[in-house]
């Protein structure tokens, strides 16, 4: 069986096809993929700066964002003991549960008895003048 090699014209066409293919499929710079988030604005950054905290709702979840020493954190204010809603006490820099007295740090950590677990937290950022929470 005779093998037939491509003519120089055919090779040129082949190389052009490979180059076009590489350009389109192999070596194109990859565009950055936009981050997919479900960030929800719970309020204005100006209000957070003014009061030191802001309450909001991210879908069906309650959120309290606090700002302490330029660090913003966001928690679900539902107490991990029996489900009361904790209050942010700016003078103590803590969340305090009105039902049985448990306290939590601004980031929801450091639970005191009778609560045994930290508050649930959310990723939060301030962008475009808004406080954005990801649930």
Residue pair 76/56 in contact (Cβ under 8 Å)? The answer is no
Length of the chain: 135
By the rule CB under 6 A, 62 interacts with ligand FES: no
* Candidate segments 26-34, 37-45, 56-64, 81-89, binder of ligand FES by CB under 6 A: 81-89
Question: Whose CA is closest to 94, among 105, 78, 108, 107?
Answer: 105
> From the list 40, 48, 66, 79, which residue makes contact with ligand FES (rule: CB under 6 A)?
79
Distance from the Cα of residue 8 to its chain's centroid: 57
> From the list 39, 53, 81, 94, which residue makes contact with ligand FES (rule: CB under 6 A)?
81
* Candidate segments 5-13, 39-47, 48-56, 77-85, binder of ligand FES by CB under 6 A: 77-85
3-state secondary structure of 84: coil
Element housing 109 (H / E):
none
Instruction: Kindly state the number of chain residues that form the binding site for ligand FES, as judged by CB under 6 A.
Output: 10
Binding site for ligand FES (CB under 6 A): 79, 81-82, 84, 97, 99-100, 102, 114-115
């Amino acid at each position: 069986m005779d093998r037939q090699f491509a003519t120089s014209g055919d090779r040129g066409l082949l190389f052009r096809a490979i180059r076009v293919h590489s350009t389109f499929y192999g070596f194109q710079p990859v565009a950055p993929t936009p981050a997919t988030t479900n960030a929800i604005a719970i309020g204005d950054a100006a209000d957070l700066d003014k009061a030191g905290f802001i309450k909001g709702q991210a879908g069906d979840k309650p959120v309290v964002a606090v700002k302490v020493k330029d660090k913003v954190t966001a928690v679900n204010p539902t107490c991990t003991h029996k489900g009361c809603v904790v209050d942010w006490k700016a003078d103590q820099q803590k969340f305090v549960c009105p039902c049985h007295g448990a306290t939590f740090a601004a980031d929801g950590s450091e639970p005191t008895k009778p609560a045994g677990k930290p508050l649930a937290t959310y990723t939060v950022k301030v962008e475009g003048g808004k406080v954005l929470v990801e649930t």
